Amino acid sequence: MKKELINLIDISKSFDGELVLDELNLSIHENEFLTLLGPSGCGKTTTLRIIGGFVSPDKGQVVFDGQDITSLPPNKRQLNTVFQKYALFTHMDIAENIAFGLKIKNKSKNYIDDKIKYALKLVNLEGYEKRMPDSLSGGQQQRIAIARAIVNEPKVLLLDEPLGALDLKLRQDMQYELIRLKNELGITFIYVTHDQEEALTMSDTIVVMNQGYIQQIGSPETIYNEPENAFVADFIGDSNIIDAIMLEDKLVSILGARFACVDTGFGTNRPVDVVIRPEDVELVKPEEGVIQGTVTHLIFKGVHYEMEVMANGFEWLVHSTEMFSVGTDVGIRVNPFNIQIMNKPESEDEEAAAIET
Amino acid sequence: MKPNKLTDRLLSAPYLLWEAIFIIVPLGMVFYYGLTDRFGAFTMENVVAIMGAEHAKALWLSIALSLASTVVCFLLAYPLAMILAHMNVSQHSFIVLIFILPMWMNFLLRTLAWQTLLEKNGVINNILEFLHMPPLAIINTPAAIILGMVYNFLPFMVLPIYNSLVKVDPNVVNAARDLGANEIQTFFKIIFPLTIPGVISGITMVFVPALTTFVISKLLGGSKILLIGNVIEEEFTQAGNWHLGSGLSIVLMVFILFNMVISAIFDKNGEGNML
């Protein structure tokens, strides 16, 4: 495992008496693309601002490269931020914007000029030195904001929903651009977003947050395929979350039907939550399925058909390239590997957190 | 309903009429009187009269006192506007109220009140005498006039600066801090440059009325200190020489227009045009 660069230790923060972060612990490694993902109000932006130094935690420590920087002002921290609405200096041209941090540090003119050229090349905006920020499109402004941050050679780049204001196509292009940038620069990116697709596309590690708590930390694959609780399953992608009973190891009863699965260690006859992704639900002839149902809705989505199947009192969401028209009787089958078993929330608090999504 | 041109024109008619009667016509009369002599013949004499020793002295004194009070207003207003901009709404409306309250009172009354306060046997000196302290002798001096100007025109400096300060995106300030600037560097490199339009508006809104005032100088400067406004006023009301009064007004207008042009160049976004 790579070296730990940032450690957040027992961070708590409340605004106007409302707890936003509750004893949060998080380690961020060198050269990692880490995404804080969650719905608005989950504490992800506050976490980023605490790392950046714009918000000081009520309790806890921020450790950067082995040093406690909890009370260090933002200008003394070796990291830079790309803000949500770009936050360019509108009274300066592009070159002056990019040079801002370097001039503060009294770098030589040659050094600064070289850096401006290098940064503009890196973000594919060569020759824009004399333009004013207002004359640039949103995507271009965001690239300048990135250029302005990275010329300072930070060890960590903080990105606060940087693509939020861009349209879909541009957002997708910028996602690839950010991955490229991160690989070229070889620095740590900490990225905040509420967009699960963005998080899945770019991250090495995703931290799913809700109501001030970390719900799950893991790679995009782990988060998607093995969500630890109903909140994560529901927030990341579409899913069927069903009450079930774990009969014994590798056998679960879903809506009264017995499904083979691969999970063990849940005990016998224990109530659990089961997650099945809609693309993992196989529709077959009624007699071939484990349970039988009827197609109630059908929508063409381009890549696949989205269907809803009423079976044993549950409306199953199904994605399939094969079409079954409304009213068709079908059987449902699921590959044992695609059944993800999760513990039921134990306390009422956790329950509430899971439901309010 | 889509407004058409005809209704637009009809709706603006009362204002246009008002403008014609009370702005265009008087302005035309000022130019007519200013550029003619008693017999109606064209002359530049009334305008050139500004070069005369006494008139020139009054003009320069006016400019000097207006500039001084503009500078004082700026130095007081900027920190105040910053405090206001950083306050939360409830505190903030209270402070604004304190500031705006005097503005609801008549301008003449406020200035008369200062006269009563500052007079040789006025309120302030009575208190000082009671406390066995030396009396204050600033009535009828340029200092009293500057005081009056600052007092009356300060809100016109505070509001446009406040307006442009609250428009500065907090993230832009954060970005500057993030890039290594300390608080002082952030202020001089980011916050102040971004509020220059507001400052320029404030300067215009203080400098122009200060330059043309005759009430403040008359009430607080006694008859000893003549500003260009007083000279013009006397030509109209006492000497009855409308031609000379208009000619000098034209000169003053040139100064004001110059100031307006500068302010328009800086304030392209109309940020200071709240009042």
Q: Which one of A52, A89, A105 has the shortest CB-CB distance to B178? A: A52
CB contact under 8 A, B176 and A152: no
Q: B112-150: per-residue pLDDT in tens? A: 999 999 988 888 888 988 898 888 888 889 999 999 999
Q: B48-79: per-residue pLDDT in tens? A: 988 888 899 999 999 999 999 999 999 999 99
Q: In the block, which residue shows the tokens 């957040």?
A: A8
Nearest CA in chain B to A74: B178
Nearest CA in chain A to B170: A87
In angstroms, the separation between the Cα of residue B188 and the nearest Cα of chain A is 12
CB contact under 8 A, B176 and A81: no
Q: Which one of A74, A90, A91 has the shortest CB-CB distance to B177? A: A74
> Which of A341, A166, A317 minimizes the C-alpha distance to A243?
A341
Q: B185-196: per-residue pLDDT in tens? A: 999 999 999 999
pLDDT for the residue A347:
53
pLDDT for the residue B105:
83
Q: B239-259: per-residue pLDDT in tens? A: 889 999 999 999 999 988 888
The answer, as to whether pTM is greater than 0.95, is no
Intra-chain end-to-end CA distance of chain B, in Å:
30
pLDDT for the residue B106:
86
Q: Which one of A85, A91, A104 has the shortest CB-CB distance to B171? A: A85
Chain A contact present for B172, CB below 8 A: yes
CB contact under 8 A, B177 and A88: no
User: Is residue B94 pLDDT above 70, yes or no?
Assistant: yes
Q: B203-242: per-residue pLDDT in tens? A: 999 999 999 999 999 999 887 888 999 999 999 998 889 9
CB contact under 8 A, B178 and A88: no
Among B168, B172, B178, B189, which would you mutate to test the A interface (most chain A Cβ atoms within 10 Å of its Cβ)?
A: B178
pLDDT for the residue A357:
37
Identify the segments of chain A with pLDDT beneath 50: 348, 351-357
Residue with the larger pLDDT of the pair A97 and B275: A97
CB contact under 8 A, B179 and A104: yes
Q: Which one of A84, A91, A100 has the shortest CB-CB distance to B179? A: A100
In angstroms, the separation between the Cα of residue B94 and the nearest Cα of chain A is 22
Q: With contact defined as beta carbons under 8 Å apart, do A6 and A63 qualify?
A: yes
CB contact under 8 A, A80 and B185: no
CB contact under 8 A, B194 and A90: yes
CB contact under 8 A, B180 and A104: yes
Chain B, 184-213: which have a CB under 8 Å from a chain A CB?
185, 189-190, 193-194
Q: Which residues of A touch B (CB under 8 A)?
A: 52-54, 73-75, 80-81, 83-85, 87-91, 100-101, 104-105, 145, 148-149, 152
- DSSP for A212-279, written as a single string: TEEEEEE-HHHHHHS-SSHHHHHHSS--EEEEEEEEETTEEEETTEEEE-----S-SSEEEEEEE-GG
Q: In the block, which residue shows the tokens 């009264």?
A: A256
Q: Which pair of tokens denotes residue B231? A: 């000279």
Q: Which pair of tokens denotes residue B203? A: 């300067």
- DSSP for B136-148, written as a single string: P--TTSHHHHHHH
CB atoms within 10 A of CB A162: 26
Determine the Cα–Cα distance for residues B96 and B1; give it in Å rounded to an integer.
Answer: 39
pLDDT for the residue A344:
81
CB contact under 8 A, A81 and B189: no
| Interface predicted TM-score (ipTM) | 0.80
CB contact under 8 A, A89 and B178: no
CB contact under 8 A, A80 and B176: no
